[in-house]
Structures are given as C-alpha cells and as structure tokens.
Chain A
Amino acid sequence: KQEVTQIPAALSVPEGENLVLNCSFTDSAIYNLQWFRQDPGKGLTSLLLIQSSQREQTSGRLNASLDKSSGRSTLYIAASQPGDSATYLCGGRGSQGNLIFGKGTKLSVKP
C-alpha cells in the first residue's frame, strides 16, 4: 500500500530564502507525482506535475524533482515570498488513478 511522507511538517523562513520541501513514497510504481498548494479553507491548486518518465519540472520559481528509484521528490522554491505561505502537498498517482497524499508541509514566509 502506497504511503506518502512529507518532511518537514512545518517550516518558517525569512523572505528571500531558497527552500526545499521533501516528499517520500513507499511504492516506486507511481504513474506521476503532483505538487499542490493549499491555502486555509481552500481547495488544492496544482503547481507541478512530473510524469514517471521525467526527472524534474520547472515553473517560475518552483522546481520539482522525482527520483523513483529512491522514492523521493523534492520541491524547490527560490527566493521565497510571503505570498508563498501555504500548505504544500505532494500526491503520488497509483494504478487506480487517484492520488495518495502526504500530510503536507506548512510553509510560513516572514516579511
């Protein structure tokens, strides 16, 4: 059974710092992996999708990598801003098509 773990659970950084969020999964047989942000009381906003055949994806200040062999993905945020404050979730897609999520990393970027 696929399990997804995200470390750290919470992170507080000053504005401008580069940071890395970690996601690990137990079953390397994933079809793809998505990173999302969730603002309080809101749904999920898709940030990046990495197909199983890819190693990384980039969008603006965000870069996500995927290493299936080690069961890990990282989300790199460059030059963090207060507007980046949110909970970041990673989800691995299994054969059933649904995503299995970690508990998320709550990020706070201080001005």
Chain B
Amino acid sequence: GAVVSQHPSWVICKSGTSVKIECRSLDFQATTMFWYRQFPKQSLMLMATSNEGSKATYEQGVEKDKFLINHASLTLSTLTVTSAHPEDSSFYICSARSGGTGELFFGEGSRLTVL
C-alpha cells in the first residue's frame, strides 16, 4: 500500500516552546491530509483536515492558533504545536488518502512529551 512518513517519531520539549511535526506521502500525492490525536487507551480524534494550498479545517474545540497546520505541497503537511504545555502531550498521527479507492494510510505517529 501507499506509504505515509511522519517525523519525528518522538519529541520531548520544554513548556512554552513550539514543536513541528511533518507528514509526507512518499509515493503518492495527497490534496488532503488529516491530523489525529490519540490519548492513552482512547480512540483517534480528528483534529483538523489539511488542504493543499488552502487553510486547514479544524474540528470543534481545536484551537487553530495553537495547532498550526500548513499543507504547502501535495506531499507534505506540517503540524506545529505552538507554546506547548504539558496537557498537549499526546500521540499525534497523520493520514492521507490515496486517490482511486479512497483508502486512508497513516503515518507512524509522533509521541510528544511536554515537560
């Protein structure tokens, strides 16, 4: 199947700093990518839909100024957690849809720990 690469796989940062997570579709172009957040023993919750060349669409309750999403090309979307706080510590996963079947493929996830 299609490959989605996510980087970094884990990051530890101090409170108040910003962290950028990259999501790349390696062998296909993705006009739309999705960013999810997963808490321990919980399901994946959609944070936002990233659209190439336009603004992201955020889910209710997700602060767009805190979770900045940029989808500058058909193969790259980035999520920046600004002014991170300990409550932002979580597992962030991106996904992209390969054209045709509409199947969604996921990255390996990024574990963020804010001290």
Q: Could you tell me which A residues sit within 8 Å of B by CB distance? A: 4, 31-32, 34, 36, 41-46, 49, 51, 89, 91, 93, 96-104
Contacts and interface: CB of A to CB of B under 8 A. Distances in A.
Interface residues of B, number: 25
A96 B56 CA distance: 13
**Is chain B's binding surface mostly helix, strand, loop or mixed?**
strand
A43 B109 contact: yes
Contacts of A42: 108-109
B34 to A, nearest CB: 5
B43 A34 contact: no
B42 interface: yes
B49 A34 contact: no
B46 to A, nearest CB: 5
Contacts, number: 63
B41 to A, nearest CB: 8
**Is chain A's binding surface mostly helix, strand, loop or mixed?**
strand
A103 B43 contact: yes
Contact of B101 (A44, A49, A97): A49
Given A31-B102, A42-B109, A97 B97 contact: yes
A44 B106 contact: yes
Nearest to B59: A98
Given A43-B93, A89-B43, A32 B108 contact: no
Given A43-B4, A46-B103, 17 more contacts: A32-B102, A32-B103, A41-B111, A43-B6, A43-B93, A43-B107, A43-B108, A44-B93, A44-B95, A45-B106, A49-B101, A49-B102, A49-B103, A100-B46, A101-B43, A103-B41, A104-B43
